[in-house]
Structure 1
């Protein structure tokens, strides 16, 4: 069984899986994986399937990845699975492994510290895909490279794969990547955001969970120079929580700020709670 770790705990040479339902959280974790690899001197390759290559590139750029610069230097590549290993029809494990072996050779020839690969496994959910090829690929992937040179994250969408396949994914990977979660129940999820660093809140937040909000903000203030509060998936909050966000921003010292990404209703509530008067608070409203 894969041991759950946060993305910043991922060691070089690890074969990890990421199972997800929330696309925003998925892109955040992928951006952290890509950014840490680039910072460490790795070559990074992202194989995408359900998400178009251009869309993934835009999502990475939005999360502080210098996409154009990294691709122009050969440090980063985003490739469509269909172009990489599905062009000949039914995918085979050997074709996929050969593709990654080519990337390993390119990384070694380019003098990179290692190779980071993340692959969207959605192709395996297609009607023509052979389940045994997915099993063979996952089991043989770790033997392709010298120790600590190849670091991988295989992405599994819980909406596509059945529980049996997800259980297999947990079994064959060293680790399962997840965000650090401060609170999770049927109505509310509060977790760490990695790129840009801060806190992500989804669902419904009210005064009953104000302590969770305070703890999450306090940790981000401690860890991050400038913090980002991602409320784009927050459907409801109340005045008590909005006032707490404004208060936390107001207490930031000079030279630091809090950026809040939110919808129109949350943005309006922050303004009504005095957010417009706080120099350290920047509110970005998206439809």
Structure 2
């Protein structure tokens, strides 16, 4: 059965979503995974990243995800963040067995629940399939067969498909079998936000309080220097000014880590995603 498709930024994924990401380059993919991981950690959910053996080493992954803070190292130490390689989950004895893989993921959900986390979010690199010689029909059959896992609203997953490894026919089939497609971040948006804010501030009467409202609910991620600039610009306004920033949980988390709560001119209006079920 084909499911209706939603195109959403990664931090708007809800528990119970089965999402796909067809990515064109590693940089954009890691931007998605960074946002995904940090949003999940902030929500007290466990994160399992299933990576290709030839990808970054575990310490490099943690350093990349935690480059601008976010408590990633602490999450790894506590077990909230888990890193595995695709052979562990899909090819433990060199063979792919569909039911064994589904059982392995079900066990991960149960483990996260026993450990007291609010849910389990995984992201899995699907490049193992062509490497293992899995034909397209078996891969699509597997994707269709995991649907019962998502009957448990504590489970969320992103299946990551590299466009360089998969043909358009497979990618089209994958999109039809996932209820959600994750959109890649627009790298220009991050600096554009600061540029717009600076322009808005330049138009204010610097002798009196300013009132500015910004809607950043669709912004997936903000780099550290942009967060610093936004906070500094808001803090430079006259006393009594107010910059009201509507945003998602991830952006609020990043801004608070860099001191947003210590700037009285900056008000965070955080949109909390309601549970899917």
Q: What is the CA-CA distance between 1:147 and the residue it aligns to?
A: 3.7
Contact 2:72 2:81 (8 Å CA) reproduced: yes
Q: TM-score, normalised by structure 2?
A: 0.66
Q: What is the CA-CA distance between 1:172 and the residue it aligns to?
A: 0.5
Q: 1:52 to 1:253 in 2, by over 3 A?
A: closer
RMSD: 3.3
Structure 1 residue 228 corresponds to structure 2 residue 223 = yes
Q: Structure 1 regions of 5+ residues with no counterpart?
A: 182-188, 192-197, 201-211, 232-247, 257-287
Structure 1 residue 4 corresponds to structure 2 residue 2 = no
Q: 1:21 to 1:113 in 2, by over 3 A?
A: same
Q: TM-score, normalised by structure 1?
A: 0.64
Find 1:174's aligned residue among 144, 157, 179.
Answer: 179
Q: 1:123 to 1:255 in 2, by over 3 A?
A: farther
Contact 2:20 2:182 (8 Å CA) reproduced: yes
Q: What is the CA-CA distance between 1:255 and the residue it aligns to?
A: 6.5
Q: What is the CA-CA distance between 1:48 and the residue it aligns to?
A: 0.5
Find 2:141's aligned residue among 136, 142, 149.
Answer: 136
2:188 is matched with 190
Per-residue CA shift, 1:242-264, capped at 9, x if unaligned?
xxxxxx88x924479xxxxxxxx
Higher strand residue share? 1
Equivalent residue pairs, number: 213
Q: 1:21 to 1:145 in 2, by over 3 A?
A: closer
Q: Distance in 2 between matches of 1:34 and 1:40?
A: 10
SS in 1 for 2:20: strand
Find 1:120's aligned residue among 87, 104, 125.
Answer: 125
Structure 1 residue 39 corresponds to structure 2 residue 42 = yes
Q: Distance in 2 between matches of 1:216 and 1:167?
A: 39
Q: Distance in 2 between matches of 1:27 and 1:216?
A: 27
Q: Distance in 2 between matches of 1:114 and 1:121?
A: 22
Per-residue CA shift, 1:44-68, capped at 9, x if unaligned?
1010015134243332122534233
Which one scores higher on RCO, CA 8 angstroms, separation ≥ 6? 2
SS in 1 for 2:233: coil
SS in 1 for 2:94: coil
Q: Structure 2 regions of 5+ residues with no counterpart?
A: 201-212, 238-277
